[in-house]
Amino acid sequence: MASVTYEHVTKRYGDTTAVHDLNIAIEDGEFLVFVGPSGCGKTTSLRMLAGLEEISAGSIYIGDRLVNEVPPKDRDIAMVFQSYALYPHMSVAENMAFGLKLRGLPKVEIENRVKGVAKRLGIEHLLDRKPKELSGGQRQRVAVGRAIVRNPAVFLMDEPLSNLDAKLRVQARAEISKLHMQLGTTFIYVTHDQVEAMTMGSRIAVMKDGHLQQIDTPHSLYTHPTNMFVAGFIGSPSMNFFPAKLLEQEGTLWVDTGAFRVAIPSHKADPYRQYVGKSVIFGIRPENIHDPQYQPQGIQPAPVRAKVSVTELMGNEVILYLSTSDKEGILAEQEFVARVDPRTEIHVNQWAEVIFDMDRFHLFDKESEQRLG
């Protein structure tokens, strides 16, 4: 087992800087997920750790060992690729045994390890098959199995579930989490899927344009996103954003969007007083907007009037697509989304009152897009 440290790590490809000055300390046994949109530098970050890409500047440590110059095979890591990279002419057993053979382990030990891991992953009956005789889900397990038999200090996984259908992906997600708990080894996992990141990671590193935006637990990313990018990236449907002004009237702070005003509860107001008069972005997640009929107990309700343009019944909830407007309907409309109780009787083309939970709002600086307060 081992910790992993990135110290001021930069990767340049000609004029493109794929990763800028990355600093992360990953603890021994952690499940760290790199997440971000396509091209943000997450795969490059993983490949530098694996030794598959050279580092342009900075240092990477596995445990206490500086590995910048250490060849991939000597880094004590195992990687599962998106493509699985199984050898097509070899059986499952041979694929799984390959790395151990290269290391010169005795035949009996190799056989025992392969069988043990195959049993754990439920692929014992597939050991004699070739990769082309396997389903996508089975191939994925073989790729994971091939990594596990090597008993590495760190597991690296690059989008290992992206070739599976939605249902299998959910199942495989849980299996990988379980495996991490059983093995207790450091896992570093790359995905563009924020749901995967949120459900699997003990910590998540959110990247954009080669820059680390925030590294935190799933709960902290969700409740305290450091900027509008993270706020919008984590959560589905995405957080609603409204350009607004902060006003103060008789001691009460108000968020005024032009179309509606909502009061900041007094126990939350102090950190924001310094921004009175400033242009801000008000953020609220769809799940924190409720149908008044079914609003949860103990929230800080603020009514907002809006027109419903689309409703989607999801079974356990209804997604409302709404747009605000001032009372005369003159000001520009602002669209937003709410996830409400499935019993709602709010319908399309209706003007409705919805309830914003002002215990769960977010404010960002309009220029820097950084979190305020």
**CB 54, min distance to ligand ATP, A:** 11
In the complex, the smallest distance separating the C-beta of residue 13 from ligand ATP, rounded to whole angstroms, is 3
Q: How many residues bind ligand ATP (CB under 6 A)?
A: 12
Q: Rule CB under 6 A: which of 38-67 touch ligand ATP?
A: 38-44
> Counting contacts by CB under 6 A, is residue 22 touching ligand ATP?
no
Angstrom distance (rounded) from CA 370 to CA 303 = 27
**Binding-site member from 2, 4, 9, 18 for ligand ATP (CB under 6 A):** 18
191-230 binders of ligand ATP (CB under 6 A) = 192
Cβ 91 to ligand ATP, closest distance in Å? Answer: 30
Closest to ligand ATP by CB, 63 or 232: 232
Q: Is the dihedral of CA 39, 44, 45, 50 positive or negative?
A: positive
Among 36, 131, 225, 286, binds ligand ATP (CB under 6 A): 36
The reply on whether position 83 binds ligand ATP by CB under 6 A is no
Q: Which is nearer to ligand ATP, 13 or 294 (CB)?
A: 13
Q: Rounded distance, CA 146 to CA 173, Å? A: 18
Length of the chain: 373
The distance of closest approach from Cβ of residue 200 to ligand ATP in the complex, given in angstroms and rounded to an integer, is 17
Separation between Cα atoms, residue 368 and residue 352, nearest integer Å: 34
- DSSP class of 246: E
**15 binding ligand ATP? (CB under 6 A):** no
Where does residue 224 rank: exposed (0-12), middle (13-18), buried (19+ CB within 10 A)? Answer: middle
Region of 35-43, 61-69, 71-79, 361-369 interacting with ligand ATP (CB under 6 A): 35-43
CB of 198 to ligand ATP, least distance (A): 17
The rounded distance, in Å, linking the Cα atoms of 27 and 34 is 15
- Going by their DSSP bridges, the two strands 57-62 and 4-13 should be labelled as antiparallel
Which parts of this chain interact with ligand ATP (CB under 6 A)? 13, 16, 18, 36, 38-44, 192
